[in-house]
Amino acid sequence: MSKEKKQYNFFCEIKGAKSIDRSQIIPFKDGRWRGIKSIAYKTEKGNWSLIERFPLFKSKWAKFEVRYFEIAPGGASSLEYHLHVHVVICIKGKGKIRIGKRWRNINYLDIAYIAPNEVHQLTNPFDEPFGFLCIVDSERDKPVELPF
């Protein structure tokens, strides 16, 4: 079995994301979506800080999930890699993203695509919250976290 195949034997599953099965509208107001509370960014401690995760959408009828993350000033996501890809869309403030060894700015509605097994991290060195949508496959491997 290849290394890539092996990675897929793990599911990266965070408790708290409800499955949505019936059509509905989830209204957005005052910076949050109705009925969607933040859950733990990860279930284990790591090299991340000041980051909240909001599970916006998952369903047994779809092969993807939509999450919203918000990083407070000074915070960061994990430095990590995994086989599954990320599509990140900035919808609040701005931030920095490391892709491989390179750091780039990410501004309002910029899209970042993180390819399989690319080392990456999102940080907020600015004064305002940095919020972004992150779309992933529902079935995905567990991230490998790196020190920094």
**Measured between alpha carbons, how far is 19 from 55 in angstroms, rounded to an integer?**
10
Neighbouring-strand partners of residue 123: 76, 96
Q: Is 2 in the site for a copy of itself (CB under 8 A)?
A: no
Q: Which is nearer to a copy of itself, 9 or 44 (CB)?
A: 9
Q: Which is nearer to a copy of itself, 27 or 45 (CB)?
A: 27
Neighbouring-strand partners of residue 144: 81
**Measured between alpha carbons, how far is 82 from 32 in angstroms, rounded to an integer?**
28
Choose, by CB under 8 A, the member of 64, 94, 126, 129 that binds a copy of itself: 64
Q: Is 22 in the site for a copy of itself (CB under 8 A)?
A: yes
Q: Is 52 in the site for a copy of itself (CB under 8 A)?
A: no
Q: Which stretch binds a copy of itself (CB under 8 A): 8-16, 43-51, 70-78, 111-119?
A: 111-119
Q: Is 59 in the site for a copy of itself (CB under 8 A)?
A: yes
Query: Residues 30, 18, 134, 40: is their CA dihedral positive or negative?
Result: positive
Strands 32-33 and 28-29 come out as antiparallel
**Measured between alpha carbons, how far is 109 from 51 in angstroms, rounded to an integer?**
19
Q: Which stretch binds a copy of itself (CB under 8 A): 5-13, 40-48, 72-80, 112-120?
A: 112-120
DSSP 8-state assignment for residue 44: S
Tokens 């060195």 sit on residue: 125
Options 51, 76, 134, 136, the catalytic residue: 134
Neighbouring-strand partners of residue 130: 71
* Chain contacts with a copy of itself (rule: CB under 8 A): 20-28, 33, 56-57, 59, 61-64, 66, 84-85, 87, 89, 91, 97, 99-100, 104, 106-116, 118, 120, 133, 135, 137-139
